[in-house]
A = this chain, B = another copy of it.
Amino acid sequence: MMVLMQPGAKPAQIQEVIDTISSHNMRPLKLPGDEQTAIGIASAIPPELRESLTAQLRSLPGVEHVVQISRPFKLASREFWKQDTVVSVKGVEIGGPKCVVMAGPCSVENREQIFMAAEAVKNCGAAVLRGGAYKPRTSPYSFQGLGLEGLRLMKEVGDNLQIATVSEVMAPEDVELVAEHVDILQIGARNMQNYALLIAVGKAGHPTLLKRGPGASIDEFLLAAEYLLHHGTKDVILCERGVYPLDKTYTRNTLDLNAVPVLKHLSHLPVLVDPSHGTGMARYVPAMSRAALAAGADGLILEVHPDPKHALSDGQQSLNPEQFQCLMDSLKGIAAASGRSL
């Protein structure tokens, strides 16, 4: 951390900053400049002190900026854990040499739909079935998901077809129930900073797919992962799903593929990409799926519906099984050219 004083800060103000740092048993280092003085902290700052110390220093008279110079996350960092984390679920390895595709409908709608979807995606090579039972919806008047009935269908289809499953959990009190029915818990983008949920899911210790919030910085995203890791989950899968777009005319979000190499550089956790939400239009999903793997993603999560026209949610961004087959075929070459398999 470094504290930059305002031009013209008085010696007593500079001394107060130095004393404040010393009072926490850290070593202040004064850097006199021609116009402004800076004071660096030449000691490691305990993570639990970082935020309050920053605020305390910022509130001192004569202080202009407090600059963070080390990363705020620990357990999620590559410095903490050098090798790539591989999350194993029902024989599927996420983060290993093989790219993993998770696919299925936005919402579980009924037994026939989810079984048709599951068979279709499994036949095309998907390793994990996605399907929502609890749905976060912008409007209270939209379809909110089948709830427990949806979870039961996910469990039934996962057991019958021997396919791993992932489904979203929206409330702390549902964590146990969802964990009993699916293999991977999903935390949705709009809940990425729902700390009560992060703590409850972290404590459950179940493999968890964490979606990046559409306005979240990389540090905020990795701090959300840090909550999960800190509270007990080891198997965290990161998922980029698009950030707030400049312009919603043609796509629903801006898929931030820069985040893929950045996250792989900073963290040991596997990184998936969701081009369905990241574009919001089925037409653009194949191009962005290929781009995601070429950028180094460990896999994809895709919306595939047996009949997108009659989907109860997200129909416009769902592929039908034929489109999905076609995409899976085209991804093989990209995976190979990226030193991976599919």
Please state the number of chain copies in the assembly. Answer: 4
Contacting residue for A35 out of B65, B79, B251, B294, CB 8 A: B79
Contacting residue for A257 out of B36, B142, B291, B315, CB 8 A: B291
Q: Which residue of B lies closest to A72 (CB)?
A: B139
**A52 at the B interface (CB under 8 A):** yes
Partner-contacting stretch, out of A39-47, A123-131, A154-162, A203-211: A39-47
In the complex, chain B residues whose CB is within 8 Å of the CB of A97: none
Contacting residue for A195 out of B7, B65, B136, CB 8 A: B136
Contact with B along A21-41 (1 / 0, CB 8 A): 000000001011111101011
Q: Which residue of B lies closest to A264 (CB)?
A: B287
Contacting residue for A290 out of B46, B310, B313, B338, CB 8 A: B338
Pair B250/A254 contact, Cβ less than 8 Å:
no
Partner-contacting stretch, out of A112-120, A178-186, A215-223: A215-223
Q: A59-B282, A294-B295 are in contact. List 14 more A-B contacts (CB 8 A).
A: A33-B42, A36-B69, A47-B139, A56-B311, A59-B315, A134-B196, A140-B223, A141-B230, A218-B247, A218-B250, A258-B278, A260-B287, A265-B284, A293-B294
**A152 at the B interface (CB under 8 A):** no
Contacting residue for A193 out of B138, B308, B313, CB 8 A: B138
Pair A69/B136 contact, Cβ less than 8 Å:
no
In the complex, chain B residues whose CB is within 8 Å of the CB of A327: none
In the complex, chain B residues whose CB is within 8 Å of the CB of A254: 243, 254, 256, 258
Pair B217/A246 contact, Cβ less than 8 Å:
yes
Q: Nearest Cβ in chain B — how far from A335, in angstroms?
A: 9
- Contact A195-B170, Cβ < 8 Å, known A33-B44, A51-B137, A230-B140: yes
Please, how many angstroms separate the alpha-carbon atoms of A111 and B59 in the complex?
A: 23
Please, how many angstroms separate the alpha-carbon atoms of A284 and B263 in the complex?
A: 11
In the complex, chain B residues whose CB is within 8 Å of the CB of A288: 257-258, 261, 295
Interface pairs A-B: 8 shortest CB-CB: A333-B337, A34-B44, A58-B316, A171-B196, A215-B215, A217-B247, A294-B294, A47-B141
In the complex, chain B residues whose CB is within 8 Å of the CB of A139: 47, 50-51, 72-73, 223, 226
**A274 at the B interface (CB under 8 A):** no
Pair A142/B43 contact, Cβ less than 8 Å:
no
Q: Nearest Cβ in chain B — how far from A107, in angstroms?
A: 10
